[in-house]
Structure 1
Amino acid sequence: MSELRTSLWHSIRINPQLWIGGAAFAAIVAIAALAPWLAGHDPMEQDLLSQHLPPFWLPENNPSFPLGTDSLGRDILSRLIWGTRPVLLVMVLGATLSGMLGVVVGLLSGHFGGWLDDAIGRLIEVFMSFPPMLLAIVLVAVTGPGLDAVVMAIVLIGWTRFARVIRGEVLVLREQDFITAARVLGYGHRRILFRELMPNIAPIALALFALEMGRAIVVEAVLAFIGFSASDVPTWGGIIADGRSYVYQAWWVMTLPVICIMISVLALSMFADGLRKAIDPMMQR
């Protein structure tokens, strides 16, 4: 056990992707938690006399608005800071629910096989036959806009990825000698699922979870861009939608949230890859 812990710590310590991605995720959490103190202005406060003020590196900027203002005179920096809250809620909750549903379905499908595997396989194919974003838009259009509808949409389009990958891993693992030995010893399905299979699929499930958080950010941004996310709180996609009509007069309104989304998704992808390299014995070898 001591050697295993030493090896795990060594893998984490020398893994720059894990550190960079983890630091970015921690920064999102910290910014969301400290938003009332970090934001210099009310994100919803309008000042029509301060429309389209440029950011600090451009001429005619206002030091009170370091990243400029939008068409209603709202502070872009404050709106980006407060926008991390719906992003954090959606990506963590959506990825968690997607992962829980997909892992359970994949475990059951791969372990039991037979008619259950066939039925789950057909169900996954039906869900994956629809374009994911179209499916999310239809769901949100039916249930109404809001963060809860966005989370439901993420779960609806995300669980299939978990289920397919986990099912494939379980199909390989169930042919291994340690699973055969567990059956010979008379272990029940519950013990085989949660004591034998679950620890072996945990690394890839965690990596998928981190990747799904990045996808959730994109889904929320797209739904907010077309007006299907929450309207009473600033969101990155909503800021992009506000700035698209003035992209030639105030390009920063649209560009800055796009940069935030790109950095967040890239960092979470690095975190997912680094996490799997750190905790998956096969990747270490």
Structure 2
Amino acid sequence: MTNVTADMSNPPPTSALPAIASRGRSGPSTLQRLAQQPRVVIGGGIVLAILLVAIFAPWLAPHDPLGQDLLHMLAPPMWMEGGSADFPLGTDSLGRCVLSRVLFGARVALLVALCSALGAMIVGSTLAIVAGYFGGKIDRLICYIVDLWMSFPPVVLSLILLVGLGTGVDKVILAVVLVDWTRFCRVVRADVLVTRQRDYVNAARLMGFSHLRTMLREVLPAVLPLMITLFSIEMGVATIVEATLSFIGLSVPPEMTTWGQMLADGRGDIRTALWCMLVPVFAIILTVLGCNLLGDGLRVALDPRLRSRGE
């Protein structure tokens, strides 16, 4: 009886209750859940392969992407009649190796995709968490800014920004961030409005947590799966935006190789050298597909609400 009384007078700390309750039922770890998602495996494999290609492009490319061979202009791929193993995917109108150019183009595409998606996520998600958490006048003000900013066509706004900023990879990244932060802000804010009504957020307020601590410790982890999904999707969007801007000559200097630049150079020979456009188009489609599959798979694997519905 004494032992029972002693145990009741010293109950376990609150932090230990979840561990006691969950003792005896261990679910799959995060890595196991990710490995069980085919979209994560396929999409992650595609993105990882493109990342490795971009990193090792100087060693994988058989030729200088800017080197011109006027004796082999518009040479077909090696499996076609008249093709050569020296140029596995053929050459363009200036005799430049298509394979080398598409490998080096992956470097610019991924650099813009990663940096611009990260910048847009930081700016948009920060404003979204502030707007959704505080509500009231702060929420209305941020929503007004988002609505006003989204009233401009994204492509036109990007063109205006690049005309004023000039060409360069850093300018392209800044332009994409300034255009696409609204996508994060609008979507994440809706999730924050739901999250702030949760019991654990209200408990944190009652315990005297500061607003910053509550947002970082309680709200941010709840919306992080959505942010990761939007980040992956934004990488695909940024890839398309960069290709569009480089197609019209407003992305990077001419001495840098991009997929959009390859499309612009190959459009004049589309009837006689279709490979000059098919190769960069395939690279863009593959990159966007990998980013979208990865984002969808990460959302399902990381969001407990989707796992509970068995999606």
User: What amino acid is aligned across from residue 132 of structure 2 in structure 1?
Assistant: G
1:84-108 per-residue CA deviation (whole Å, 9 max, x = no partner) reads: 1101110000000000001100000
- Whole-Å Cα distance in 2 between the matches of residues 42 and 192 of structure 1? 53
Aligned to 1:182: 204
| Matching residue of 2:117 | 95
1:57 is displaced (CA, Å) by 2.2
2:24 counterpart of 1:6: no
Matches within 5 A, 1:37-56: 37-56=59-78
Q: Which runs of 5+ in 1 are unaligned?
A: none
1:261 counterpart letter in structure 2: I
RMSD of aligned C-alpha atoms?
Answer: 1.3
Moved over 4 A (4+): 1-5
Tell me the distance in 1 between the aligned counterparts of 2:104 and 2:47: 16
Alignment partners' CA distance in 1, 2:130 and 2:27: 31
Show the counterpart of 2:142: 120
SS where residue 6 of structure 1 aligns?
coil
Of 96, 112, 115 in structure 2, the residue corresponding to residue 74 of structure 1 is 96
Q: 1:267 corresponds to which letter in structure 2?
A: G
Seq. identity, %: 42
Deviations 1:149-206 (A, max 9, x none): 1101110121101111111111111111111111111111011100000110110000
Whole-angstrom distance in 1 between the partners of 2:29 and 2:48: 24
Cα distance, 1:29 vs. partner?
1.2
Q: Where does residue 256 of structure 1 map in the other structure?
A: 279
CA–CA separation in structure 1 for the residues paired with 2:61 and 2:32: 38
Instruction: Report the equivalent of 1:242.
Output: 265
Does residue 256 of structure 2 align to residue 233 of structure 1? yes
SS of alignment partner, residue 306 of structure 2: helix
1:67-119 Cα distance to aligned partner (Å, 9 max, x none): 00000000000000011110111000000000000110000011111111111
Q: What is the identity, as a one-letter code, of the residue corresponding to 2:293? A: M
Gapped runs of 5+ residues in structure 2? 1-18
Bigger drift between 62-71 and 3-12 goes to 3-12
Quick one: which amino acid aligns to residue 258 of structure 2?
T
2:28 aligned counterpart, secondary structure: helix
The within-5 A match list for 1:1-285 is: 6-230=28-252, 231-285=254-308
Q: How far does residue 17 in structure 1 lie from its aligned partner after superposition?
A: 0.4
Q: Shift of residue 13 of structure 1? A: 2.0
SS in 1 for 2:80: coil
Higher mean C-alpha deviation, range 5-14 or range 266-275: 5-14
Task: Please state how far the C-alpha of 1:4 moved relative to its aligned partner.
Answer: 6.4
Asked which structure has the greater CA Rg, the reply is 2
